[in-house]
């Protein structure tokens, strides 16, 4: 995927950007957004890009900025439908009759997931970007380093600090 860090927002070719980013946005939305809302979340992300491209300051890579919009749109969609993300076990969502997990425990796990997502959403940009790339998108360290323009050591430090902040903000969750 080519990047446009030195480009002014007005010089970005939206058609090329769309062609490069759309597959990755769809993959990420499948992991972050409610399954029935994936297309809407990606569409809302592109609307956010189009409406906000003039405010893009270039402090991060353009793709990182766009994934941030996708993340926020996904979180908004979960809140909009008054639902919480399901926690997957392998290829199965937590459904009491499939996993044998009690319904009360499912509700607790969903609350834990929502609290974790909120904690990630509250992180500073660089911490949120690295934890999303490594732990949510499950991308390899080398790719995170390339996308975020980090050394391997700096990537490890950022990820360690991000995970630490999430753990600190969820003391009861980590203890259980």
Question: Cα(171)–Cα(160) distance, rounded to whole angstroms?
Answer: 16
Question: Cα(82)–Cα(78) distance, rounded to whole angstroms?
Answer: 6
Which of 28-32, 51-55, 75-79 has maximum average pLDDT?
Answer: 51-55
What pLDDT, on the 0 to 100 scale, is given for residue 96?
43
Q: How confident is the model at residue 6 (pLDDT cuts 50, 70, 90)?
A: very low
Beta-bridge partners for 88: 93
**pLDDT tens by residue, 72-100:** 888 788 777 654 444 444 444 444 445 55
Write 46-55 long-range contacts (CB < 8 A, 24+): 46/18, 48/72, 48/73, 49/14, 49/17, 50/14, 53/9, 53/10, 53/12, 53/14, 54/9, 54/10, 55/9
**pLDDT tens by residue, 117-159:** 888 888 998 898 899 888 877 788 998 888 788 999 999 999 9
Q: How confident is the model at residue 32 (pLDDT cuts 50, 70, 90)?
A: confident
Domains of the chain by start residue, with CATH: 1-83 (1.10.1740.10), 122-176 (1.10.10.10)
Residue 101 predicted with pLDDT over 70: no
Mean pLDDT for the stretch of residues 21-39: 86
What pLDDT, on the 0 to 100 scale, is given for residue 106?
67
What pLDDT, on the 0 to 100 scale, is given for residue 12?
74
Plot region of 88 (φ>0 → left; ψ -120 to 50 → alpha; else → beta): beta
Question: Cα(138)–Cα(111) distance, rounded to whole angstroms?
Answer: 22
* Closest of 37, 130, 117 to residue 72, by C-alpha: 117
DSSP code of residue 88 = E
* Closest of 53, 42, 61, 45 to residue 11, by C-alpha: 53
Residue 112 predicted with pLDDT over 60: yes
What pLDDT, on the 0 to 100 scale, is given for residue 82?
54
What pLDDT, on the 0 to 100 scale, is given for residue 9?
55
Residue 40 predicted with pLDDT over 90: yes
Q: For residue 89, give the H/E element and its range.
A: strand 88-89
Plot region of 30 (φ>0 → left; ψ -120 to 50 → alpha; else → beta): alpha
């Amino acid at each position: 995927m080519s990047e446009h860090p030195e480009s002014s927002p007005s010089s970005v070719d939206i058609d090329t950007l769309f062609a490069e980013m759309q597959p990755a946005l769809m993959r990420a939305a499948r992991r972050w957004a409610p399954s029935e809302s994936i297309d809407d979340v990606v569409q809302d992300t592109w609307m956010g890009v189009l409406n906000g491209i003039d405010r893009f300051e270039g402090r991060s890579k353009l793709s990182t900025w766009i994934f941030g919009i996708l993340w926020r749109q996904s979180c908004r969609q979960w809140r909009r439908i008054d639902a919480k993300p399901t926690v997957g076990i392998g290829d199965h969502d937590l459904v009491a009759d499939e996993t044998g997990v009690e319904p009360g425990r499912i509700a607790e796990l969903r609350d834990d997931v929502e609290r974790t997502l909120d904690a990630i959403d509250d992180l500073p940009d660089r911490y949120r970007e690295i934890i999303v790339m490594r732990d949510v998108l499950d991308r390899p360290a080398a790719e995170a380093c390339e996308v975020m323009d980090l050394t391997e050591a700096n990537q490890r430090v950022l990820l360690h600090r991000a995970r630490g902040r999430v753990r600190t903000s969820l003391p009861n969750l980590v203890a259980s």
